[in-house]
Amino acid sequence: MLNIHGTALLAGDRGILIVGSSGAGKTTLALALIEHFSLRGKFSRLVGDDQLFVEDRGGRLVAHAPSTIAGLVEIPGLGPRPVAHEPAAIIDLCIRLIPAADVERFQDPTREDIAGCGVPAIAVAGRDVIAALPAVVAVMKNLSFRPD
């Protein structure tokens, strides 16, 4: 089991892992995705914020929060707050938050190796939910459940 710095959530029928440097906007994007899907009548829930345990289970990446922070999300400017959460998720998509200047305008499909699992991945600008949200939703519509 590997401990990583990231945020995980369930959005619709997909598990999403958001990674990036401290302050890149992982929590903000996760909360925006949860709200986006909830407003459309889709299930969405936090799995873990800030620190996650991830592991390969049968070729799929599974994430869960350490028990000490399970059910807490760090709201920017307010600190940790309790939220509805799920204990674990199979991760179908990794979102890497990077500086806006480094985001390629057109990205080829990529995979990120995490704990020995190849996970479909997309890079989006950190701290830019308005640009990231439609890109993430579009990528999610084209994901297959087939692990490679």
Predicted confidence (pLDDT) per residue in 53-80, tens digit: 999 999 999 999 999 999 999 988 899 9
Q: What is the pTM of this model?
A: 0.95
Query: Mapped to the 3 state alphabet, what secondary structure does the chain carry?
Result: CEEEECEEEEECCEEEEEEECCCCCHHHHHHHHHHHHHHCCCCEEEEECCEEEEEEECCEEEEECCCCCCCEEEECCCEEEECCECCCEECCEEEEEECHHHCCCCCCCEEEEECCEEEEEEEEECCCHHHHHHHHHHHHHCCCCCCC
Q: What is the pLDDT of residue 50?
A: 94
- Higher-confidence residue of 109 and 148: namely 109
